[in-house]
């Protein structure tokens, strides 16, 4: 008998009490109207920034205002002229190591924790959201959910290879509990709500 069978048969001998799965509909009670201001405060509290724009057409000018002097930037958002990295030329991590800005489309934002869900089909290359120094996520104002229960109703993990909720810039407090931004991932994160 291999390890698999041995483990499974030992589990059968286990004596964990029978408990039925709880009714998850109770989590619906915690949904309510979205307050963009709450999202803003939470995102700022985790080190991110937020800019509220009138429309996607304003993204370009906002980016030029935020980043007047950039050598290496990537975006895959249609209609956004910012960015000069051609992924066809990217063969390995080395080629993206100096990426300064990535502008990606987030699927939705979560009011309670300032996170934005980004899935692999919107990343261009899976390493882009973490390897870039500065991450800009563009999300529609209509795509904000209250909390993580609502968030998980919006996605289907079966249909994505890799998907990540990103809440603010990368951080660490491993040196004497002092919060420092930019551990391994993006040092800065901006959310553009359009």
- Interface with another protein in residues 85-124 (CB under 8 A): 92-94, 97, 110, 112-115
Decide whether 64 or 184 has the Cβ nearer to another protein: 184
Q: Give the count of residues interacting with another protein (CB under 8 A).
A: 77
Give the span between the Cα atoms of 141 and 127, in whole angstroms: 26
User: What is the DSSP code (8-state) at residue 144?
Assistant: E
- Which among 53-61, 67-75, 101-109, 126-134 is the span making contact with another protein, rule CB under 8 A? 126-134
Give the span between the Cα atoms of 97 and 127, in whole angstroms: 10
- The answer to whether 12 contacts another protein (rule: CB under 8 A) is yes
Decide whether 40 or 59 has the Cβ nearer to another protein: 40
In sign, the C-alpha dihedral spanning 71, 76, 80, 86 is positive
Decide whether 32 or 86 has the Cβ nearer to another protein: 32
Reduced to 3 states (helix: H, G, I; strand: E, B; else coil), residue 4 is helix
**Binding-residue pattern over the window 17 to 46 for another protein, x denoting contact by CB under 8 A:** xxxxxx-x-xx-xx-----------x--xx
- Interface with another protein in residues 48-87 (CB under 8 A): none
Phi/psi at 61 (nearest 5 deg)?
-65, -35
CA geometry: angle at 115 spanning 128 and 62, to 5°?
Answer: 65
Least distance from another protein to the Cβ atom of residue 97, Å: 6
Decide whether 64 or 98 has the Cβ nearer to another protein: 98
- Interface with another protein in residues 127-186 (CB under 8 A): 127, 129-131, 147-149, 151-153, 155-158, 160-178, 180, 182-186
**What do you get for the CA distance between the two ends of the chain, in Å?**
58
Q: 150 with 30: CB under 8 angstroms?
A: no
- The answer to whether 15 contacts another protein (rule: CB under 8 A) is yes
Decide whether 75 or 170 has the Cβ nearer to another protein: 170
Give the span between the Cα atoms of 108 and 142, in whole angstroms: 8
């Amino acid at each position: 008998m291999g390890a698999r069978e041995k483990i499974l048969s030992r589990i059968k001998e286990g004596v964990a009490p029978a408990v039925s799965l709880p009714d998850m509909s109770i989590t619906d009670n915690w949904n309510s109207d979205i307050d963009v201001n709450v999202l803003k405060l939470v995102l700022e509290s985790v080190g991110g920034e937020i800019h509220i724009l009138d429309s996607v057409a304003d993204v370009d000018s906002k980016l030029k205002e935020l980043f007047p002097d950039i050598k290496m930037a990537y975006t895959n958002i249609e209609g956004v002229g910012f960015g000069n990295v051609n992924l066809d030329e990217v063969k390995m991590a080395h080629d993206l190591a100096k990426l300064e800005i990535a502008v990606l489309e987030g699927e939705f934002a979560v009011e309670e924790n300032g996170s934005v869900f980004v899935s692999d089909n919107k990343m261009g290359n899976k390493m882009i959201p973490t390897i870039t120094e500065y991450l800009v996520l563009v999300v529609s104002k209509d795509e904000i959910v209250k909390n993580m229960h609502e968030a998980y109703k919006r996605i289907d993990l079966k249909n994505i290879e890799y998907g990540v909720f990103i809440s603010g810039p990368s951080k660490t407090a491993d040196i004497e509990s002092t919060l420092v931004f930019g551990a391994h991932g993006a040092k800065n994160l901006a959310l553009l709500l359009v």
